[in-house]
A and B are shown apart, each in its own frame.
Chain A
Amino acid sequence: MKFLKQNWLVISIFLLVSLLVLIRTFSHKNFRYDAVKWAAPSALGTNILTEDQIPALSGDKLLINLGNKAISNQQFRDITLDINPESLLEKTNLKLIRRNKGPVILYSEESSVSARVWMVLSEMGLKNIYILSNDATINNR
């Protein structure tokens, strides 16, 4: 008690700063610290998959169809979820993505939609997010 009374200012400043740091680090409502780090896979191209690479991935796969056209390949049907990109960040959908243990694969017939969504999700600190691209030439590297 005496210790607290003597050092209340030191303790309260330290707790306040630590609290702010913890909120910043673990908050789900905000983007994570260091944009460069989270964007790195996009610069390396490691976040792009083709259909035949999917079976090789380990863990529970979740395919999210952001577009209007169904994926032609039948084998992915039971792991596919149709989500409208606008409602992707709604609580229930986001929970689904966060809870999924394994790769989350984004698909849309418009590759720009999946690319934009990928960047948003990655900057929120989600790892293991991929873009499904059937057309190997779509991403000319």
Chain B
Amino acid sequence: MGPLSSYFAFPDWLNMLTAFLIGTGFGFALEQAGFSSSRKLAGMFYGYDTTVLKVFFTAAIVALIGSQFLSYLGLLNLNQVYVNEFYLTASITGGVIMGAGFIMGGFCPGTGLSALSIGKIDAMVFVAGGFTGAFIFTETYPLIEGMATAQYKGPVKINESLGLSPGLFTLIMVAAAAVMFRVAESAEKKFARPEITNELK
């Protein structure tokens, strides 16, 4: 049955409306998680606040488990859900650049947009930087095209490349996440910075 947009052949306006509503939910969830604060986000990398890890993995796992149950119950056709294309070089290079951007800016694009809406000036500047970054990317794309399209592997799934069933991989991932959550909570105690976390409350 699902994705609904292809099952019911959504007209353009409805697609745009659902995009806006899903975005609203996304922004709401990010802000509620406390991701509108760059110092909370950066806390992940200094150990005093590991909310990023908790929210990020919980969200991915909830969607992963949910989508597989929906697929089993015949409600969602996973063949029609987009799987990201894997360009090995670009994924790693891009990821490292993003890592640098994360620790310098203190936001990622989604959290930056969510934070600017509640009046964080640093988030506004971050998003302005994002616009500039996008502009530089589109202008320099012809120069980096070779690198951006190198080592193309197609839309590979991780469980397939490991030879595991999706359910078994999910179980392993959840077990790993449960351990990480535990470690993260003890790290929060070990690297606690009450002067920062109290200020953020």
In the assembled complex, which residues on chain B have CB atoms less than 8 Å from the CB atom of A17?
Answer: 69
Interface residues of B in 53-77 (CB under 8 A from A): 69, 72-74
How many angstroms from the CA of A17 to the CA of B65 in the assembled complex? 11
Q: How many cross-chain pairs have Cβ atoms below 8 Å apart between A and B?
A: 11
A1-38 vs B, CB cutoff 8 Å, 1 = contact: the mask equals 00000000000000001001100100000000100000
Output the least CB separation between A34 and chain B (Å). 9
How many angstroms from the CA of A21 to the CA of B69 in the assembled complex? 8
In the assembled complex, which residues on chain B have CB atoms less than 8 Å from the CB atom of A24?
Answer: 72-74
Q: Is the interface of A mostly helix, strand, loop or mixed?
A: helix
Output the least CB separation between B166 and chain A (Å). 13
How many angstroms from the CA of A20 to the CA of B72 in the assembled complex? 10
Output the least CB separation between B22 and chain A (Å). 23
The reply to whether B72 and A33 form a contact with Cβ atoms under 8 Å apart is yes
Residue of A nearest to B69 (CB): A17
Give the interface residue-count category, chain A: under 10
In the assembled complex, which residues on chain A have CB atoms less than 8 Å from the CB atom of B74?
Answer: 24, 33
Residue of B nearest to A25 (CB): B72
In the assembled complex, which residues on chain B have CB atoms less than 8 Å from the CB atom of A20?
Answer: 69, 73
Residue of A nearest to B71 (CB): A33
Output the least CB separation between A42 and chain B (Å). 20
In the assembled complex, which residues on chain B have CB atoms less than 8 Å from the CB atom of A21?
Answer: 69, 72-73
Output the least CB separation between A7 and chain B (Å). 16
Output the least CB separation between A26 and chain B (Å). 13
Output the least CB separation between B68 and chain A (Å). 11
In the assembled complex, which residues on chain A have CB atoms less than 8 Å from the CB atom of B73?
Answer: 20-21, 24
In the assembled complex, which residues on chain A have CB atoms less than 8 Å from the CB atom of B69?
Answer: 17, 20-21
A86-123 vs B, CB cutoff 8 Å, 1 = contact: the mask equals 00000000000000000000000000000000000000
How many angstroms from the CA of A21 to the CA of B72 in the assembled complex? 8
Output the least CB separation between B183 and chain A (Å). 22
Output the least CB separation between A123 and chain B (Å). 12
Residue of B nearest to A34 (CB): B72
Output the least CB separation between A17 and chain B (Å). 6
Output the least CB separation between B77 and chain A (Å). 11
How many angstroms from the CA of A68 to the CA of B72 in the assembled complex? 40
Interface residues of B in 65-107 (CB under 8 A from A): 69, 72-74
Chain A interfacial positions (CB closer than 8 Å to B): 17, 20-21, 24, 33
Chain B interfacial positions (CB closer than 8 Å to A): 69, 72-74
In the complex, 5 of the A-B residue pairs with CB atoms within 8 angstroms, ordered by the A residue number, are A17-B69, A21-B72, A21-B73, A24-B73, A33-B74
Apart from A21-B72, A24-B73, list 9 A-B contacts with CB within 8 A: A17-B69, A20-B69, A20-B73, A21-B69, A21-B73, A24-B72, A24-B74, A33-B72, A33-B74
Return the 10 tightest CB-CB contacts between A and B, nearest first.
Answer: A24-B73, A33-B72, A20-B73, A17-B69, A24-B72, A21-B72, A24-B74, A33-B74, A21-B69, A21-B73
